[in-house]
Amino acid sequence: MQPGSRIAVVGAGLGGVAAAALLQKAGFQVDVYEQAPAFSRVGAGIHMGPNVLKIFRRIGIEDALVAIASKPDFWFSRDGETGEYLSRIPLGEHALRTYGAHYLTVHRGDLHALQVSALQPGTLHFDKRLASIEEDGSGVDLAFADGSRARADIVVGADGINSRIRETLLGDEKPNYSGWVGHRALLDKDALRRTGLDFEACVKWWTHDRHMMVYDTTADGHEYYYVTGVPHPAWDFDGAFAPSSREEMREAFVGYHPVVQALIEATTEVTKWPLLNRNPLPLWSRGRLVLLGDACHPMKPHMAQGAAMAIEDGAMLARCLSETGLSDHSTAFRLYEANRRERASRVQAVSNANTWLRTQEDPAWVFGYDIFEVPLRSESGVAA
């Protein structure tokens, strides 16, 4: 471990790694501290829109990601019972031509591995569960559960919805349970094709109070993934998720279209996860500590933009710190919040409402956004 690193990023998720990679490219000394002992190809699928691919272009992983990911031609929304198309949102070449980058769906683990590969060697430190953090006039001391310590000029809290950095800023408060769970499962698409049914590359099946989002996670189309949103009266399980079952899925989606029933019958292992959120925060930073992603503005996953907002946060934070330098980090943090709060809050609201792309709409305000090209607003919200 390199002592005296200038910036410490706590949490090596998608947002934290993006922030660290961009800050390193900008010339800052950055170390990332991750509580997990290692990373493996676990997790689930994820959408990455053109707004994020433009950031990956700066990091240097866009081409590698495009090569391994699925590039759906459309986002389809369909009535869960009748199969009627509610919307056909063009992606594919249209996204590349209109928004300036691809729209991809990919396995989260594959994406994360590419992101980690962009970090400078030796700057990602595993098994570093934050035990305490103390700020003084000249820096921040971090103590980890393994007995090690680190010191930094500023600390970026990218440590998720249960963020220790957030607790330091705002006190201990549990996230809100939304009343919904998400089921997750990976399927063999080749086996599904033998049913004779059509399994589209990116489709969301809707009824009034639940849905199932289904998509490819690899370029070759062999791996198919679904994630749901289903009402659940209370989260009464320990841990981040619980096992579910094919029987529970049948009950949750009774009356749904034959394609959805085929997905359920092909399910061999499925888990369910509580969908959590928080009220908008009164502040995003204080002193030498700053938050991003789920530590700052967690949202339901219904817009497929939660990770994207964390990555955008990391890019904007790097942009603002590059403008001011670490010696004026307080100005950088105010600029960062001024340039992120409105967009992140809007996405959070739409995502929580679960209306995104259900009907034919123009997604350009999300997909066409280029975080490196938009004029920086001043701390007062006026374009600088």
Residue positions annotated with a catalytic role: 47, 215
Nearest-angstrom CA–CA distance, 216 and 107: 9
What residues form DSSP beta bridges with 77?
A: 87, 204
- The CB density around residue 184, as the number of other CB atoms within 10 Å, is 19
Token pair belonging to 263: 């997905």
Q: Of 277, 301, 176, 114, nearest to 226 (Cα)? A: 301
Tell me the longest C-alpha to C-alpha distance in the chain. Answer: 67
Q: Give yes or no for a contact between 49 and 308, defined as CB atoms under 8 angstroms apart.
A: yes
Contact 307, 219 (CB under 8 A): no
Residue that the structure tokens 């320990």 belong to: 238
Residue 113 contacts residue 39 (beta carbons within 8 Å) = yes
Any residues with CB less than 8 A from the CB of 27 and at least 6 apart, and which?
none
340 contact partners, CB below 8 Å, separation of at least 6: 284, 312, 313, 316
Structure token pair of residue 54: 């433009």
DSSP 266-278: T-S--EEEEEEE-
Residue 325's region, left for phi above 0, alpha for psi from -120 to 50, else beta, is left
